[in-house]
Structure 1
Amino acid sequence: MFVRQELWRHMKRCQSKPAMSDESAGGRQRVLTIAAVAKSAFSGQVDDGLMKVLSQMNDDEIARVVRNDFGLLQFAQSLYNRHGFNKTKHEYICQKVRELARFILALRKKCPSFTLEDAMKPANFMNVIDAVKDAAGFNQDTHSYQTPSLALKIGHSLLKVSEILHCRALITEDAELTNSAKAFQKLYKTKWSEYISHKALCTISDLKYNKPTKLPLTQDIDKLNDYLQRSAESAFQELSQNTTEHNYACLARLTLTRIILFNRRRVGEVSKMPLKNFLQRDDSYAFEELGLSAYEKRLCKYFTRVELKGKRGRKVAVLLSPDITKALELLVEKRKQCGVLQDNEYLFAAPKGNSFYRGHDCLKKFAAECGASHPEYLRSTQLRKHVATTSQILNLKHNELDQLADFLGHDISVHREYYRLPDATVQVAKISKLLLALEKGMLPELRGKTLDEIKDFTDEDDDQDDSDEDTSETRPQHITSGNYG
């Protein structure tokens, strides 16, 4: 047996220790966290895989709450049963568990011995309300939250906990726990919106008013694209001539960023692209019988399409140009020589571990290096909103808009509500034409015309009446109307 504080020294030299990559080996704090998890009173009642996931958390007060609350561990076990097979979801599991642990810490300020199961009792419902407000930073004077999303997330998690406890009570035939869980669900359904979610949603809505639209500039996108192409060509030559881990990493990061930028994909979707999806790509397209133009047929022969799993399991695709395909093939060829583990399933695998290169970090790095005037706007979400917003000027048909939304991985309603931003320039330039026409009583003459068909005309009344000189400084001399014939 070893003293807990000395265990980390033994693990460094123990001949029976399991083989670990440099990434997962960790240090003193990592070993002490594993020891703390193993010491937990409930460690034998949950899966070893879950305890391994929880051992990745920082050994702080929140982690100690997680390890010693049985209801919280049951919630974590439910998440692990659903998402544990996916290693990329392990961080999400820890995040959801820590949110509830922060709630429990806030609850224990009033009731030091409370557990998550105690929070499900109807008599403690108002204490639960106060704890959620405390954890989310509710301001009684302004009736707003510092972190409104946290209040909503804690509410969803508490409802899930009540369902878990209800199922456990039914299995164990615990009538008292069954009644408590059902009562909490009833209270949540009728009172949660009144006390928590309504104010949280209002806070989120208020924060969106007059918020500047941070869309990337076209010249910044051009600078980033040119920089990536030049750097990728150099990195390709370097890796071809000198196979090193550094050259592999450079080409992988550049290629990953180029795919994200061109396809306007979510960074997580491309970063976690499985190697098998690229190797099993289908280059044959039945486009001869679709009535495509000659230019569209050439594009079908030029690009390679790879399908991957998007948000909520939606099937999405990325288009790869020939130079990007060649770069990916070189990366696959050099994987073993550059230290990528054989069981690493990701296309953009990082050497000496089972992880992958993060697209957000790569995009942020190259945006800062390319000389853009606003590199902070060159992010995945802003790029996706940029293409959705600028597509408004194309006057796309309904089926074409559906195709764009499907490629971006959106439901069409989500695309219209969240991604087609109400661009200020579009509103001022186009809607103002209609408003000015209404002001002048010209609407009957605009019948059957679109906003783009309304053209400039000179307001003759303003030109002929010198008495309107003062008002002409406050509104345009030229308003728009149709062709009067």
Structure 2
Amino acid sequence: MLPLLSSLSSLVLYLRRLQHSAFLSLSRQLQSAEAWRLLCHSSLALLILYNRRRECEVSKLSITEYRSRLTPQCPIPVPPGAPPALTPLEASLSPFERLVLPHLPRVGVQGKRGRVQPLILPPHCEPCLELLLETRQDVGVDPANPYVFARPYHSPATPLRGTDLLRSLARSSGTRNPRALTQTRVRRQVAILTQLLLLGEGEEPGQPGGSAVERLEHFLEREYHVTQNCAGIGQDPGLMGRVGRVVLCGERDGVLFRGMSLNHICLELDVMSGNSADSYSEGESDGEQAKEKTEAPALAPAPAPPPTPTLLYVRKGKNNGRVGRPKKLKNAQLAAQPPAQTPTGNRRRGSGQPKSGKRGVLKRPWSEAERTAVEEHLNQNIAELRVPAKADCERCLQQCPLLVTNHRDWRAIKFYCHNRIQLLKKNQRRENEPMPLIVC
């Protein structure tokens, strides 16, 4: 999440500066078309990043919908144990948006199939939109245009295209990876990080619900039973990335871990989702198949090794040198396999080819904490290029509760050491291999 957070923070900072300078320029010169355009573009881009809605839904925000926006008031007290009384617009928000951002105005926009989708206005957005609506006729916007983000000197039925605009601003902001910020699959993740980046901006002191940081701490304790000090979240990208990831996974998969710290929750999510990259993938040739067989022995049987390709010498004739038909090649490969490896229950009707592919095999790459624990206790075996025995692996399990928590058994530890030793042997062979002589 940190590379995405770095690019997103650069883009948000660029948009905030652009919005502020354009607001000041348009306030001084009400007929400046360039200042109006920059203010309109920066406000729309920030509104897209701040919300989880589609770009077209945000771009088609009408003036009527904006005028009927709702500013949340103090929550109505409810008896203990009773569910809170929520309006349909508030019920469509996520728990994070409803509990951490209750002071920001909400707008109901038209979504798919006529549904009303909530749209949260980011901080400092209302004064900018009010100035855009006041000066739109002075810069050439058609009075019949119903959209807030209109295009001067264009048809009233054509609002701005948010997708193209965001893509262009991401390129001009100088971020390292602008294409990653405009992908559809990271829309929710970008919205959560943007809300954390702008957390506490435009907030008046002495509000009834407390500050935004206090509400965030209360939300983490209420939803995940995590006691975390978030006072310096604006200056700590690591803390912001962990909070954003826990909120994202908690909303998608439910509350998986209660009472753990943010570091341990992110570590468990790495182990379960496999986001931690395996740096030893080069040496996983012989031991990887044995490892996969051990990981899920009851889910799927180990597949037979692929047969070696058979060279077929075809005499030139009527085919003009072309290779024979694929059916003959498949029959030749099946004939080269021993009959014991050919399953009889999984054959297709009318052909002797068995079904290929593995089903139900779950690959869980080893996280950095698991690697450190194994190599700390079995470092001598790895250094001597000696695969540990079962007793050594069980002793490592007893001394490392993290491995037991992540459902690693002694076979998984043994095959991990085997793969590590194979990689070391491979690197040693590369180092000892003589350099080829170049004859001039």
TM-score range, shorter chain: 0.3 to 0.5
User: What TM-score results when the alignment is normalised by the length of structure 2?
Assistant: 0.44
Greater helix content: 1
User: What TM-score results when the alignment is normalised by the length of structure 1?
Assistant: 0.40
Task: Determine which structure has greater relative contact order: mean sequence separation of CA pairs < 8 Å that are 6+ residues apart, divided by chain length.
Answer: 2
